[in-house]
Amino acid sequence: MEPVELNADGRDLFASFECTIFRQRWTRDIENTIRERLADELRLDPTLSALGFIVEGQLAALIVWRPSAEDAETWEIALLATNRGFRRKGHYAERLKRELLRRAAAAGVLVVSSEVHRDNYAMLDLNTRLGGSMTSAGPDHLTCLIDPAVVPPPTYESSDATPRPRPQA
């Protein structure tokens, strides 16, 4: 299954997305953003891109990113989430992040960055798998930096996740 590009037309899919996890406060914020603001942000901000998996008419998972405003060689992930019923069921989040890293490498991007709550063990585990290095970003958060040219291969079967060499100048 291939991920699809998402835009403001996904408003109805976004409106029913559920990713809140008990005792993980940040997941409520992510859910609210997806439900209430994402469609407008995608409509109004041409720098924002989004990919998702749509399974049986539901948005199973999505990733949203933009090029950094400060650094042309960096892309910043704004959101990555998997809908409640699809967690740990098809490596949806990992596949989306790998696809984003593949696109970043193809575009000559040197760093893909994201911010992760220090208690988000699921995301920290996933980032570690993808070769991420974590640095402090204040009391609650870590910044994860990944070089898209050197992503370790997946442990699950996939035909699309081979690390790609950085394009030559």
Residue (136 or 168) nearer to ligand COA, CB: 136
Provide, rounded to whole angstroms, the least separation between the CB of residue 159 and ligand COA: 17
Kindly give the pairing relationship between strand 4-5 and strand 74-82: unpaired
Asked whether position 80 contacts ligand COA by CB under 6 A, the answer is yes
Q: CB of 96: closest distance to ligand COA in angstroms? A: 8
34 is a site residue for ligand COA (CB under 6 A)? no
Least gap, CB of 6 to ligand COA (angstroms): 15
Q: Which residue stretches of the chain are H helix?
A: 11-15, 25-32, 38-44, 92-106, 121-129
Q: How far is CA 116 from CA 44, 113, 126, in A?
A: 25, 10, 11
Q: Does 62 engage in binding with ligand COA (CB under 6 A)?
A: no
Neighbour tally for 100: CB within 10 Å:
24
Q: How far apart are CA 151 and CA 169, in angstroms?
A: 20
Number of residues forming the site for ligand COA (CB under 6 A): 23
Q: What residues make contact with ligand COA under the rule CB under 6 A? A: 19, 21, 27, 30, 61, 80-82, 87-88, 91-94, 114, 116, 120-123, 125-126, 129
